[in-house]
A and B are shown apart, each in its own frame.
Chain A
Amino acid sequence: MERRRRSETPKQQVHHKNQTDLSAWRKGKKSDPEKSVQSHQSPNDEKNESKQGSLEEALSYFEKVQERVSLKKNNALQKHLTTVESIALEKGLPPEGFDVLLKVALSGKLADTVNTRLLKSLVPASVIPEDSVVSSVSLLCVSKCSASTQLLFLRWLITMFDFIDHKEQLHALYGFFFSFLQDEKMCPYVCHLLYLLTRKESGESVQLYEMEYHFGMQSHLQALLSLYKLFCPELVTITLPGKMKTYFKNSEGPWKAVINAVRRRNQENSAVLKPLVLGTAQPQSRKRKWNTQVLIPASSANRSNLEEDREKQLVNLYSMDESFPVEQLQTFPQLLQNIHRLEFPSQMGSVLTNPLLLHYMNCIKDESIYLRLYYWMGQTLQEECTWCVVDNSQYEEEFKAFLETVYKTECFLQEGFSSCEEFLYKSLPLWDGFCCRSQVLRLVSWIPLSSFSEMKSHLYDPLVQLFFTSSLYFKCSVLESLKELLQNWLNWHMIHLDSESDSQAQSSNTTLSGLVNTVAELIHFVGWISTVALRLENNPTFLLYFILDFYEIVCDMYLRYNLPLLIMPPAGIFYPALLSMDSVSLNQLCYIMYRYRTNLVAAKENELSKKKILQFKFSSQTYQEYNQYIVAMVGCLWTSSAFQKDTHPQGLRMDDELLKKIAVQDFKSSFNIVYHPALMGYALLFLQQAWPDDTTFNFSLIKGKRWNWYLEYLYSQGLKGLKVFIESSINRVSQASHNKTENMQDEKFI
C-alpha cells in the first residue's frame, strides 16, 4: 500500500521526500512515548529507512518499466538494480518485492543480464509468498524469457524451496512441472524440483511410461524414478541399479554466499527466522541452509487453520484421505494416534533431530524415507565436506555440528547410515587427520559390518597411513573408535541372535562364520597397529591404557556377547604391559588374563558336558598361548622365577650366564609383587605403615604372614584386577611361606 502512495513522486526529489514521508508514516503508526525514542535513533536507522524507501521506489520502477530498456544507457535502471542487489545482500528482500521482481525477470522485457542479476538477488528476508511463485511459473510456461533465464529461475526455485510459505498451489501445479521434463536442458533441475514436491498422492498422476522410453538412465532421473518406485511400485517397471551414488546437481551456487550472509545478519538482529521454526526445542544457532533443513519448517502448515484441522482430524481419525502433516507432531501419544498416515516433510534432514520421527523410522519399514534420507545425507555430506571442498572451511564449525547430529542419530537408532559409510570411504583416503577429527572418528565407530576385503581397502588402509604418522593423541582416538566399532558389531550380533526369525535373505557376511572372520580380522588389525604404535611411541602408559581397554572387550567376547572367538593379545602388547612401570596397566592386564581364563574354562566345560553342540571349538593353540602367558606372568609376579619359566618365543627367558653378567643381585625376584617397578611404591607405603620407625626399607621383611598382609593392602588400594587374577590363577598350598606356593599345573588343556 505504501508503495502505491509514492508512485507518482518525481525521481529528482525522491530521496529527500521519501525520507520525510517514511518518518511521517512511521510516526503516525507508533504511539507517543516512542516518538522521543524515534528522534534519538542512530544514523544507522535513518540509513535503513532511506534504504527502505529506495527499495520501494526501485520496486515501483520495475513495476512500470517499459520494454527493452538497455542497462548501459539508462542510469535509473542501473541505480535501481544496484539498490535491489545491495538490499538483498544486506538483509534480504521483503515478501512484497518478489511479485514485482519475478514478473519483470521472467517476462523478457529487459535484457538477460538484468534478469540474471535480478534473479541472483532474490534472497528473502523472511518468506516468499506463494502467489508470486505461481504467477512466475505461469510466465515460465509462456516462455517469454530466454532459456538461460528459465534455467536460473528453476535453480532459484529449488534453492529457495524452503522459504515459500504455502505449497498447496505448487503441489497443484505438479503436472505443469512434469511437462517440463521434456526439455533436455531443464530436465535435471525439474527432476530435482519434482523430487522435492513429490508426495505419495502425486505418484498416481504421473505418466511414467513416457519417461521410460524417452530418456536414458541419467542420475537425476534415476533418483526421481526410485522415489516413484517406492510410492507406487506397480507403475515403475524398469529395474534400477542397486546402489546409486549419484545425486542431483547442486543448484545453490549463485545464492550460497548471499543466503549465508543474510541469515547471519538476521540472526544477529532479531529472530526473523522464528516463524520458520516449529518448537521442537532446537537451538537457535543454525546458520547454514542444510542445518535449517534439520528444523521442520512451519511454512507448509497453515497455522491459522490449526484449530479447525484438529477437529477435522478427530472426526476423520481413521480416514485415509488426509495425511497428518508432520509439523504438528509434538508428543508421543500424537505419534501413536497418527502413525498410519504420517506425511514426512520434504526436507528429510529435519528427521535427524526429531526423536518422534526417529521412533517412527525405527518401527515402520518405509523404504521411501530411507531412500530420501540416503540421498539427502549423501549429497549434504559430500558437498559440505570441509577438506574435500576448501571453500567450506569457513563453515567448519557447522559441519562439525552436523556430523555430531548424524552421530547422535546413529546412536539413537543404534545403527549406521549407509550414506555416512560411503562418505567415509570416499573421503578418508583424502583426510588429513585434522579436520573434524573427533567427529569423523566417532562416525567410524558406526560403520556396519561388511566383508574383510572391503573394510581393508576402504577403512584400514587409509587409517593405517594416518595412524602411523600422527600424534599420540590421534593414535589413542583411533583405538578408541575401533573399540567402539567392535562393541557396536558385537551388540548388533547379540540383537540379531535374539531375532533369529530374520533369517530370510541374509547375505553371506551376516552369517556367524562371516561375522567371526570379520571380527577376528579387526582384532588382528588392532593388535598389529598397537604393537607398532607402542614401539613408535616408546611404550607410553596413555597408549597402553587404550590398547588394554580394547582387549577388555576382546577377552570377554565368548561369555558376554556369545561369540565363539577368543584371541590373545600379541606378545608386543602383553610384555610391555607386564613389565610396565605403572600399576594401572598391570592391574588391567591381570583383569584381562582373569577374564580370558573364565572364558576358556566356560568353553571347556561346554565342550566336555556336551550339552550344547558347538559349532566352534577353541583350538588347542589358543589354550597353549594362554598357558604360555600365564606361566610367564605367574613366574614374574609370584614365584620369583621371572626369567626361567617363560617358553614364549618373544618372552622373557634368558640364560643364567647372561643374567650373571648384568651383575644385578636377586634378579629372580625383581619382578614379583614386591619388587616390580609398578608395585614398589605400594611396598614402600606398606613398609612405612607396618614399621613406622624403620627407615631402612628392608623389602625382604615382606614374607610369610606379612606377605598376606601385603596382598590385602594391595587389594585395598584398588588393584582389583590383581586380586581376581591371583585368586583365580594361583593355588596356594600353604599359608606359611610363599616359596611353597605353586601355580595350577592342570591349567594345561589339550
Chain B
Amino acid sequence: MLREKKSFKISIHLTTSLPLPAERDHLRPRIDLIVFMIDIKSKYSLKNVEASLAHVDANFFLGKVCFLVTGVGRVNYCSVEMNAIWKLGEMYCSPVLFCELELEGIRNATAQRLLRMLQICAGHVPGISALSFGTLMRNSTDD
C-alpha cells in the first residue's frame, strides 16, 4: 500500500493482536481504518481476529473496520468455513474483501481498494462519511 501513488500521507501500524500496548497511546495518531486480515487456511487466524475484535471500541464499527480475507487462491484447502466469515462480517457490520497475496497483480489492486476506503474513512472525500460508506457496502438497494 505504501508503494501506491497517492496525494496524502499514510502511516500503517501492523500488529498481530490487540489490544495495542498502552504505553504509546499518547503518541499514536488518529486511527482511520482497521483492517483485520484473516488467512483462510488457518483456523488460528480466525480465532485470533475474533479475540481481538473484543478490544475494539464500538465507534470503529461505524464504517472504519474492514475484514481482508487472504489465501483465496487455495480455496480448496481452506480450513475456515466461508459461512463463518460471512457471519463475522454481518455481525460486525463491516465489509469483507478477498485477496490472494501470492499474486502481485491482485496485491496491487487490493492495495488500491484499501487506499480508496482509507480516503473515505479519513474524511477526504466530501459528501461521503465512513458511516454512510459502510452502509452502502452492505445494502444493495435504496429503499
> Which residues of A line the B interface, CB within 8 A?
387-391, 393, 429-435, 456, 460-461, 464-465, 468-471, 521, 524-525, 528, 532, 535-536
Contacts and interface: CB of A to CB of B under 8 A. Distances in A.
A433 B72 CA distance: 13
B73 A431 contact: no
Interface stretch (B8-16, B53-61, B107-115): B107-115
A456 B136 contact: no
A432 B100 contact: yes
A430 B113 contact: no
A393 B73 contact: yes
Contact of A393 (B97, B103, B108, B110): B103
A460 B114 CA distance: 20
Interface in B64-101: 72-76, 95-100
Given A387-B106, A389-B73, A389-B74, A464 B140 contact: yes
B137 interface: yes
Given A390-B103, A433-B109, A469-B116, A536 B97 contact: no
Contact of B75 (A389, A468, A535): A389
A388 B127 contact: no
A525 B100 CA distance: 29
Given A468-B136, A469-B97, A389 B105 contact: no
A456 B140 contact: yes
A524 B25 CA distance: 46
B23 interface: no
A535 B125 CA distance: 9
Given A431-B98, A471-B112, A532-B136, A525 B141 contact: yes
Contact of B100 (A387, A433, A535): A387
A430 B110 CA distance: 12
A430 B72 contact: yes
16 contacts: A388-B75, A388-B76, A390-B100, A393-B73, A431-B98, A432-B72, A432-B99, A432-B100, A432-B110, A434-B110, A435-B103, A464-B137, A470-B109, A470-B112, A532-B136, A535-B127
Given A434-B106, A471-B112, A532-B136, A387 B72 contact: yes
B141 A535 contact: no
Nearest to A464: B140
A735 to B, nearest CB: 44
Given A393-B103, A433-B109, A433-B113, A460 B98 contact: no
Contacts of B102: 390, 393
- Which 8 pairs of residues, A with B, have the shortest CB-CB distance? A390-B73, A434-B109, A469-B113, A528-B142, A460-B140, A432-B106, A464-B140, A430-B98
Contacts of A464: 136-137, 140
A456 B140 CA distance: 7
Contacts of B141: 456, 460, 521, 524-525, 528
A388 to B, nearest CB: 5
B137 A389 contact: no
Binding site secondary structure of chain A:
helix
Nearest to B142: A528
B31 to A, nearest CB: 19
Nearest to B112: A471
A435 B105 contact: yes
Nearest to B105: A434
A524 B105 CA distance: 33
A497 B26 CA distance: 70
Contacts of B35: none
Contacts of A471: 112
B106 A435 contact: yes
A391 B99 CA distance: 15
B18 interface: no
Chain A CB within 10 A, most for which of B120, B140, B142: B140
Contacts of A469: 97, 113-114, 116-117, 137
Contacts of B75: 388-389, 430
A535 B128 CA distance: 8
Contacts of B109: 432-434, 470
B94 to A, nearest CB: 11
Given A465-B137, A524-B141, A535-B127, 16 more contacts: A387-B100, A387-B106, A388-B72, A390-B73, A390-B74, A390-B100, A391-B73, A393-B102, A430-B75, A432-B98, A432-B100, A432-B110, A434-B108, A460-B140, A465-B97, A469-B113
Nearest to B103: A393
A745 to B, nearest CB: 33
A470 B142 contact: no
Contact of B137 (A388, A431, A432, A468): A468
Nearest to B127: A535
Contacts of A432: 72, 98-100, 106, 109-110
Chain A CB within 10 A, most for which of B74, B96, B97, B113: B113
A536 B127 CA distance: 8
A439 to B, nearest CB: 14
A468 B133 contact: yes
A536 B136 CA distance: 12
A433 B111 CA distance: 12
A471 B114 CA distance: 11
A337 B2 CA distance: 66
Contacts of A456: 140-141
Nearest to A393: B103
Contacts of B73: 387-391, 393
Nearest to A521: B141
A430 B102 CA distance: 15
Interface string B1-30: 000000000000000000000000000000
Contact of A524 (B74, B106, B142): B142
Contacts of B112: 470-471
A465 B95 contact: yes
B101 to A, nearest CB: 10
